[in-house]
Structure 1
Amino acid sequence: MHIGILEDDPVQRELLETLVRQGQHTCRSFESAASFLEALKLESFDLTLIDWVLPDGNGGEVLRWIRKNIGWQLPSIVITARDEEPTVVAALEAGADDYIVKPAKPLELLARVSAASRRARPGSLPVIRAGDYEIDIERQRLSIGGKVIELTQKEFDLSVCLFQNLGKLLSRDYLLNKVWGISADVDVRTVDTHVSRVRRKLSIDGSRGWKLVPIYGFGYRFERVDLAEPT
């Protein structure tokens, strides 16, 4: 999983990063609510770890923003030194899936991360539709205008990841982790190679209303384009 960490204390932030990576996850950290919320508008995370007391707000405000703008599909865990009941209740009422008291115990943290992620999974695999595109995840089939497109397994997995994150900024490391797994013996050039193949096979060059845009030095953004404008 790719985990977003919001923690203003540098020592605690480094500890959380270490624990998350020991659990074979990737992460990106932020020290203020403002920077974290800006990142959430652009980048995709599979789970968030949120400190309750922040220099420019509190975890409750961040959680309410997440639930209002992203929804309940993003698991979020509050981590704080406060263990009094009113704070726990406030965090849960604001939208936290779980609550961990600092200092986080390594095995407990990873277990709670896994549990929150399992609870967030939908009960059935969805069908994704966007314009002429339809992706049936359960049947492992992608079609354009009713015509099935032949894809390798990794190309299909990459396509699903892109269509699940329309408009989001996706780093190469994120795509590598989601499609190949963090322990896979491949590098980011593999991502670029597969992206090139998927772009060609799916015609996501703007000609069908969707375009995969490279972001120099970072990754890609898959976005809607206006067919009335030149592409």
Structure 2
Amino acid sequence: MLIAIVEVSNHNDPCIEKTLLKSGYQCTAFQTPDAFLAAADNVIFDLILVECDAVCSNVVAFVHLLRGRFGTFMPILLLSRSESEADAERSVLAGANECVPRATSEDRFLSYLAAWLRWAHYSTVKDKHFGVGRYRVMVPQRRVHVGDQTIRLTEKQFDIATAFLMNIGRVLTRDHLCNLVWGFQLGTVSRRVDTHVSQLRDKLLLDGRYGLQLLTIYGVGYRLVMVDDDLEAIA
């Protein structure tokens, strides 16, 4: 789960980055909006966190730009040193999902991130029918077809399956999966994630025979990859 921290103020606060890293997120901090926009051409971010002193015209214009570039389902949160209701209203009208006061407690701040990340995943896939190789996913019906088979999945297994199938080749950490499916960080559900993924690998035949192989990245998470005719994973 990769979060961009973009500074639009005169105060760089390294505590935010430390909080995210400590909580299991990957993040990259950018000192200016231009630096972020240049990097975003080559990196996929899951959430954009904009740090600002207040929701001024520059911040509003930047949020407009972000929403136009990244579309409806990219979570954009403002972290403002101002706590005024007017700032919160301006941020939402500009296209941000939420304006979080800088004085918000760490636990509550992290809960906002988890909730919006889960919202983004659900909103992205909820009306989709899509295919990956010989796999077909009917999200509204919550069904997965493999070849000529219809695979029955539990609700959590289906949510994990869509996360993998929409991120071919990308390493998904256990924290990332927890955020998308349960809405919070790992904690006590680490074994539950591994159990669901193990069952999913067997149910969806993700061993290469249908063109997809689910790899375990030890100590990190999992990666679903396309395979060649010899059933060797493509790096």
TM band (smaller chain):
0.5 to 0.7
Per-residue CA deviations over 1:93-118 (Å, capped at 9, x if unaligned) read: xx963685974656x97999778986
Q: CA RMSD in A?
A: 4.7
1:24-63 matches, within 5 Å, as 27-32=25-30, 37=39, 41=43, 45=46, 47-51=47-51
For 1:177 and 1:111, locate their aligned partners in 2 and report how far apart those are by CA, in whole Å.
Answer: 10
Q: Secondary structure of 1:31's match?
A: strand
Letter in 2 for 1:9: D
For 1:77 and 1:163, locate their aligned partners in 2 and report how far apart those are by CA, in whole Å.
Answer: 26
Q: Give the percent of matched residue pairs that are identical in Structure 1 and Structure 2.
A: 26
For 2:173 and 2:132, locate their aligned partners in 1 and report how far apart those are by CA, in whole Å.
Answer: 22
Could you say which residue in structure 2 is the equivalent of 1:208?
210
Per-residue CA deviations over 1:184-212 (Å, capped at 9, x if unaligned) read: 98431222222121112211122221121
Letter in 2 for 1:226: D
Per-residue CA deviations over 1:127-169 (Å, capped at 9, x if unaligned) read: 1211111111211211112321122332222212211222222
Answer with 121-130 or 186-195: which moved more. 121-130
For 1:116 and 1:214, locate their aligned partners in 2 and report how far apart those are by CA, in whole Å.
Answer: 23
Deviation, structure 1 residue 173: 1.6
For 2:131 and 2:226, locate their aligned partners in 1 and report how far apart those are by CA, in whole Å.
Answer: 13
For 1:155 and 1:203, locate their aligned partners in 2 and report how far apart those are by CA, in whole Å.
Answer: 14
Give the ranges of 4+ consecutive aligned residues of structure 1 lying more than 6 Å apart after TM superposition: 33-36, 63-67, 108-120
For 2:65 and 2:16, locate their aligned partners in 1 and report how far apart those are by CA, in whole Å.
Answer: 23
1:118-157 matches, within 5 Å, as 121=123, 125-157=127-159
Letter in 1 for 2:96: D
Answer with 112-121 or 124-133: which moved more. 112-121
Letter in 2 for 1:97: A
1:50-199 matches, within 5 Å, as 50-51=50-51, 72-79=72-79, 97=96, 100=99, 103=102, 121=123, 125-182=127-184, 186-199=188-201
Structure-2 change in CA distance of 1:170 and 1:102 (3 Å) = same
For 2:202 and 2:169, locate their aligned partners in 1 and report how far apart those are by CA, in whole Å.
Answer: 19
For 2:181 and 2:97, locate their aligned partners in 1 and report how far apart those are by CA, in whole Å.
Answer: 27
Could you say which residue in structure 1 is the equivalent of 2:13?
9
For 1:137 and 1:149, locate their aligned partners in 2 and report how far apart those are by CA, in whole Å.
Answer: 13
Deviation, structure 1 residue 171: 0.6
Tell me how many residue pairs correspond in the alignment.
208
Q: Secondary structure of 2:180's match?
A: helix
Q: Could you tell me which runs of 5 or more consecutive residues in structure 2 were left unpaired when the two chains were aligned.
A: 54-58, 83-90
Structure-2 change in CA distance of 1:213 and 1:52 (3 Å) = farther
Could you say which residue in structure 1 is the equivalent of 2:88?
none
Could you say which residue in structure 1 is the equivalent of 2:87?
none
Could you say which residue in structure 1 is the equivalent of 2:56?
none
- Asked whether the 8 Å contact 1:128–1:136 carries over to 2, the reply is yes
